[in-house]
C-alpha cells in the first residue's frame, strides 16, 4: 500500500494541472467506501470522487471543486480536515491511517481512516496534497469471525467499562494478543487499541445523539476513567468536545 501511495503521489504531482487528475477521480468512483481527493496548495479541491460528494450532500463531484472542506461540511466537521490540510501543506509531513469520525449526510457520523500526502514538485515545493478517507467496515462475512472473538466483541460493545486494554479483550476472546491484533486488522483495519478507542467513542456518540444523559454519565457509561479523559479522547477522534458534538449534530438533524 505504501508503494502504491508513493506512485499515486508522484503521478498526481506531474498531473495536478492537467486533465489527468480526472482519471483518478473516475477510478475512485468505483469505491463507495472511499472518499478520494486532490487539493491544491490552498487546500481547495482539484479533484474528488462521487463518494465524497454524496457524503456532503452534493449533487455532483464538480460542486466541490474550488472549495475547502469547511465550505461544504458544517461546523467543526469541516474545520478539522481544513486544519489537517493546512498542517500537511505547511510542514510537508504526511497524515497516515488517522482514525477519526466524519459526518456523512444526511444524519449520521461514520468512522474513517484518513491518509493525506503532500504533492511535491521537481523544485521541492509543496503544490498540493492527495489523499482518501476509507470507511471502517467489516470486509468479510461475519461467519468467518471465530465464535469466541465475536462473543468478546459483543460483550465489549454492550459493556465498555469492563474492558480497558487489548490484553483484557484478548483474554475475553481466549486468544493471544498477536492473534487478536491480526483479527482486528483483518476485520476492521484497526489495531486492538484503535478498536477499543473507536468502540468507546462510538458508544458515547450514540448516547450523545439519542439520550439526554449528562456528559459525566456518558463518560462513565462509555468506559472512560473520568470526564477529562473522555473529553480528550472524544476531541482527538472527532475534533470537537462532547458538548459541541451534541449541539452540532442536533443542529444538523434540524436542517
The pLDDT of residue 14: 47
The pLDDT of residue 1: 47
- C-alpha closest to that of 211 among 252, 237, 246: 246
Give the long-range contacts of residues 235-239, CB within 8 A, separation 24 or more: 237/99, 237/100, 237/101, 237/197, 237/198, 237/201, 238/76, 238/77, 238/80, 238/100, 238/101, 238/109, 238/201, 238/205, 239/76, 239/77, 239/79, 239/80, 239/100
Q: How far apart are CA 234 and CA 147, in angstroms?
A: 30
The pLDDT of residue 13: 47
Q: What are the average pLDDT values for consecutive 10-residue runs of the chain, which has 255 residues?
A: 52 48 64 86 91 87 90 75 90 82 63 86 89 70 67 82 91 93 83 88 84 91 89 84 81 57
Residue 13: which H helix or E strand, with range?
helix 2-15
DSSP at 45: E
The pLDDT of residue 22: 61
Cell of 46: 482539484
The pLDDT of residue 72: 85
How would you class 208 by CB atoms within 10 Å of its CB: exposed for 0-12, middle for 13-18, buried for 19 or more? buried
Task: Provide the whole-model pTM.
Answer: 0.58
- C-alpha closest to that of 242 among 109, 90, 65: 109
Omega before 116 within 30 of 0, i.e. cis:
no
The pLDDT of residue 79: 77
H-only helix segments in 120-165: 147-158
Q: How far apart are CA 59 and CA 61, in angstroms?
A: 7
212's CB contacts (< 8 A; 6+ apart) are: none
Amino acid at each position: 500500500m505504501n508503494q502504491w501511495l508513493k506512485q499515486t503521489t508522484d503521478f498526481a504531482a506531474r498531473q495536478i494541472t492537467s486533465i489527468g487528475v480526472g482519471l483518478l477521480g473516475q477510478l475512485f468512483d468505483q469505491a463507495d467506501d472511499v472518499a478520494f481527493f486532490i487539493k491544491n496548495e490552498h487546500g481547495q479541491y482539484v479533484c474528488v470522487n462521487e463518494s465524497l460528494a454524496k457524503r456532503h450532500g452534493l449533487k455532483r463531484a464538480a460542486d466541490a471543486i474550488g472549495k475547502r472542506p469547511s465550505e461544504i461540511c458544517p461546523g467543526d466537521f469541516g474545520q478539522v480536515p481544513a486544519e489537517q490540510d493546512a498542517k500537511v501543506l505547511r510542514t510537508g509531513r504526511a497524515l497516515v491511517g488517522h482514525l477519526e469520525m466524519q459526518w456523512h449526510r444526511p444524519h449520521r457520523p461514520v468512522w474513517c481512516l484518513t491518509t493525506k500526502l503532500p504533492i511535491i514538485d521537481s523544485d521541492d515545493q509543496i503544490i498540493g496534497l492527495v489523499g482518501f478517507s476509507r470507511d471502517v467496515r467489516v470486509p468479510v462475512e461475519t461467519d468467518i469471525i471465530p465464535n469466541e472473538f465475536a462473543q468478546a466483541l459483543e460483550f465489549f460493545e454492550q459493556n465498555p467499562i469492563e474492558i480497558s486494554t487489548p490484553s483484557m479483550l484478548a483474554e475475553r476472546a481466549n486468544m493471544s494478543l498477536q492473534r487478536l491484533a491480526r483479527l482486528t486488522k483483518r476485520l476492521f483495519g484497526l489495531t486492538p487499541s484503535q478498536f477499543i478507542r473507536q468502540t468507546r467513542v462510538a458508544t458515547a456518540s450514540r448516547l450523545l445523539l439519542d439520550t439526554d444523559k449528562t456528559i459525566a454519565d456518558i463518560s462513565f457509561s462509555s468506559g472512560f476513567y473520568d470526564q477529562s479523559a473522555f473529553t480528550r479522547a472524544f476531541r482527538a477522534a472527532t475534533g470537537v468536545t462532547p458538548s459541541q458534538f451534541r449541539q452540532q449534530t442536533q443542529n444538523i438533524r434540524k436542517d
